[in-house]
Amino acid sequence: MSSAPSWEDIERLYHEVLELPVSEREALLTAVDPALREEVESLLEADSSEELLSSPPASIAADLLDAHPGGLTAGERVADYQVESLISIGGMGEVYLAHDTAGRPVALKILRRHLIVSVQAVDRFETEARAAAALRHPNIVTVYESGRSAAGLFIAMEWLDGSTFRAIMDAGDVTIAQAIDWGGQAARALAAAHDAGILHRDIKPENIMLVREGVVKILDFGLARHGAPASPEPISMGSSGTISGTLSGTLMYMPPEILRGETATRASDVFSLGVLLYELTAGRHPFAGETPLDVFEAIECRPVASAGSVRSGVPEQVDRLILRMLDREQSARPSANEVSDLLREI
Amino acid sequence: MDESPQGEVTLLLAAWRDGDPDALNKIMPLVYAELHRIARRTWSQQAQNNTLQPTALINEAYLKLANAESTSFKDRCHFFAVACSAMRQILVNHAKSRLTEKRGGARAHVSLDEVQPVHQEAAEIVALHEALEALQAVDPRKSRLVELRYFGGLSIEETAEVMGVSVRTVNRDWRLARSWLIRQMNRESS
């Protein structure tokens, strides 16, 4: 009686046969169990057939990149929006400048179909859309609409004409008065979100823009879920239409509890804002390091030199406030509301 | 302005190694975005007449994302493995949407000659992807090998390096895996 041959037996015989001269193969095959023989013979037949798998799928790869050089082309429609130009290709998809039916410019963020590999990816995108749409605040980018279209999931939001904090800091010195004003606006936005029960989870200079008349706008609410770096996305839109923003940015603004793998809290957002406020005020990053590991170590245990010791003219209250925001103990950090109030008083 | 995202990738690789199933989802968009950037530049430099080899893209994406000098050999291997998986997902998803378009007639204005080779390959990729899932159940190592070799376009030597096996093993496994997959695809289509 012959049972189903094992994969090990098939594998062994297959290679044994291939090592023999063609004239001797038949003899070996007739000597084995018929079921095993049939398995191996059908594999040998496939071995000699076809060109399949002989080269990588280059033409489909080229087609993919050709079909989505930036995805949508000018004039294409996504729901009620008409695409004008590609602004950035980022972590979760693409961002376009588009117009609504009234001709108003909007930023259109798209998660493309071929990037949707899991329920989690869709969840993350929709969570972001919902969280952001629930917030109405002068210092938070306004989300108009989100939904599904032929091109993929989309979020339509307020078009911002300005620069990211990253671009501004790269460009040169920020005055202490500006740092206090901008930091205060960002704190008010964060306080409003926290009051509504929404965390940002990824506060960094790439996610905050300064638009005309000195108004600060926070982008990308609710992106990351468990404090993991889920927003590797250079979504920031500069006035020149260029993009600034980095992936490595995220780590530099993470509080120690997130690095330890704990869940983000309101105090985590406050810490990240504290890093940003320090950077704006002192003109350098509190945890600068050569490698990600250096930064890791600095965030977890290096003592922070007060902003006032790095740059003269920093008001003492601001100096103390920033150090409290950067406290490694979450409970010792002030709330976003408190930060907002204190900065307003100065 | 265009800083290296290596910190992000290092964290994601660590998460992936620790068994976070969502890490691949997070790495994939990075690989994808990087592929685009590289492809756009390659095209503007060479204008026409170039075939895009997945392996060249992955290699370059790797150099850009993972900072080869400060990354360990082990992390390099991990990166290739993840990038090849990402490449497989991206190509299979794209192939599927191409096939859906054909049925839906969304590209009816394009002449058939232009579309045919791509559709043939698209159908082949989807069939192969499914056969590969069946192989995964029989022999996970060989399934992974095909992912690296075919979807990632890695050479025999590179595949051996990433998998931590000898070149001889890769050669033998590749030949049997290929036979098995061809047989499987023939059975499915008949």
Return the pLDDT at B73: 62
Return the pLDDT at A34: 92
Contacts of A38 (CB under 8 A, 6+ apart): none
Same structural domain for residues A84 and A191? no
Contacts of B53 (CB under 8 A, 6+ apart): A56, A58, A61, B153
Same structural domain for residues A136 and A191? no
Same structural domain for residues A42 and A76? no
Look-up of token digits 């590999």: A117
**What's the domain range around B167?**
6-189
Same structural domain for residues A184 and A316? yes
Convert the pLDDT of each residue in B68-83 to its tens digit: 455 566 666 777 777 7
**What's the domain range around A126?**
69-158
A143 has which bridge partners?
A157
Contacts of A137 (CB under 8 A, 6+ apart): A188, A189, A192, A193
In the chain, the amino acid numbered A44 is L
Q: Closest chain B residue to A17 measured between Cα atoms?
A: B176
Q: Give yes or no for a contact between A149 and A93, defined as CB atoms under 8 angstroms apart.
A: no
Q: Is the residue at B98 inside a domain? A: yes
Return the pLDDT at A283: 92
Q: Is the residue at A142 inside a domain? A: yes
From chain A, pick out residues whose CB is under 8 angstroms from the CB of B5: 232, 246-248
Return the pLDDT at A242: 21
State whether B93 and A11 contact (CB < 8 Å): no
Sequence length of chain A is 346
Provide the pLDDT confidence category of residue B26 given band limits of 50, 70 and 90: low
Q: Is the residue at A23 inside a domain? A: yes
Q: What is the pTM of this model?
A: 0.54
Q: Give yes or no for a contact between B9 and B79, defined as CB atoms under 8 angstroms apart.
A: yes
Q: How many CB pairs under 8 A join A and B?
A: 174
Looking at the complex, does the CB of residue B82 fall below 8 Å from at least one CB of chain A?
A: no
Q: Give yes or no for a contact between A125 and A220, defined as CB atoms under 8 angstroms apart.
A: no
Return the pLDDT at A133: 80
State whether B94 and A67 contact (CB < 8 Å): yes
Return the pLDDT at B104: 43
Same structural domain for residues A208 and A289? yes
Same structural domain for residues A154 and A231? no
What is the domain count for chain A? 3
CA distances from A108 to A66, A145, A240, B30 (A): 21, 10, 17, 19
A202 tagged catalytic: yes
Q: Is the residue at A1 inside a domain? A: no
Same structural domain for residues A150 and A175? no
Spans of chain A, pLDDT less than 70: 1-2, 49-52, 54-71, 88-93, 112-122, 124-125, 128, 222-250, 261, 291-293
Return the pLDDT at A93: 62
Q: How far apart are CA B32 and CA B15, in angstroms?
A: 19
Same structural domain for residues A221 and A297? yes
Q: Which of A158, A180, A197 is the endpoint of a domain? A: A158
Q: Is the residue at A212 inside a domain? A: yes
B14, pLDDT greater than 70: no
Between residues 138 and 157 of chain B, which touch chain A (CB distance below 8 Å)?
138-139, 146, 149-153
Provide the pLDDT confidence category of residue B15 given band limits of 50, 70 and 90: low
What is the domain count for chain B? 1
Q: Is the residue at B1 inside a domain? A: no
**Between A72 and B31, residue with greater pLDDT:** A72
Same structural domain for residues A225 and A304? yes
Q: Which of A158, A186, A217 is the endpoint of a domain? A: A158
Return the pLDDT at A316: 94
State whether B182 and A70 contact (CB < 8 Å): no
Convert the pLDDT of each residue in B86-128 to its tens digit: 778 777 877 887 777 644 433 333 333 344 556 777 888 889 9
CATH number of the domain that residue A229 is part of: 1.10.510.10
Q: How far is B5 from chain A (nearest CA, A)?
A: 5
Convert the pLDDT of each residue in B135-163 to its tens digit: 999 999 999 999 988 887 777 888 898 89
Phi, psi (5° rounding) for residue A157? -135, 165
- Burial category of B69 from C-beta neighbours within 10 Å (exposed 0-12, middle 13-18, buried 19 and up): exposed
In the chain, the amino acid numbered A62 is A
Of the candidates A173, A181, A202, A269, the residue annotated as catalytic is A202
Same structural domain for residues A330 and A193? yes
Q: How far apart are CA A99 and CA A82, in angstroms?
A: 5
Q: How far apart are CA A61 and CA A30, in angstroms?
A: 45
For chain B, percent of residues with pLDDT exceeding 90: 22
**Between A252 and B54, residue with greater pLDDT:** A252
Q: Work out the angle at residue A255's Cα, subtended by the Cα atoms of residues A273 and A342, and round it to the nearest 5 degrees.
A: 30
Interface TM-score (ipTM) > 0.90? no
Q: Which of A134, A158, A182 is the endpoint of a domain? A: A158
At how many degrees (to 10) do helices A336-345 and A266-282 cross?
A: 30
Q: How far is B95 from chain A (nearest CA, A)?
A: 7
Same structural domain for residues A34 and A150? no
Same structural domain for residues A113 and A184? no
**Average of per-residue pLDDT across B35-64:** 53
Return the pLDDT at B16: 59
State whether A56 and B53 contact (CB < 8 Å): yes
Looking at the complex, does the CB of residue B176 fall below 8 Å from at least one CB of chain A?
A: yes
Return the pLDDT at B44: 44
User: Could you write out the three-class secondary structure of chain A?
Assistant: CCCCCCHHHHHHHHHHHHHCCHHHHHHHHHCCCHHHHHHHHHHHHHHHCCCCCCCCCHHHHHHHHHHCCCCCCCCCEECCEEEEEEEEEECCEEEEEEECCCCCEEEEEEEEHHHCCCHHHHHHHHHHHHHHHCCCCCCECCEEEEEEECCEEEEEEECCCEEEHHHHHHHCCCCHHHHHHHHHHHHHHHHHHHHCCCCCCCCCHHHEEEEHHHEEEECCCCCCCCCCCCCCCCCCCCCCCCCCCCCCHHHHCCCHHHHCCCCCCHHHHHHHHHHHHHHHHHCCCCCCCCCHHHHHHHHHHCCCCCHHHHCCCCCHHHHHHHHHHCCCCHHHCCCHHHHHHHHHHC
Q: How far apart are CA B165 and CA A285, in angstroms?
A: 44
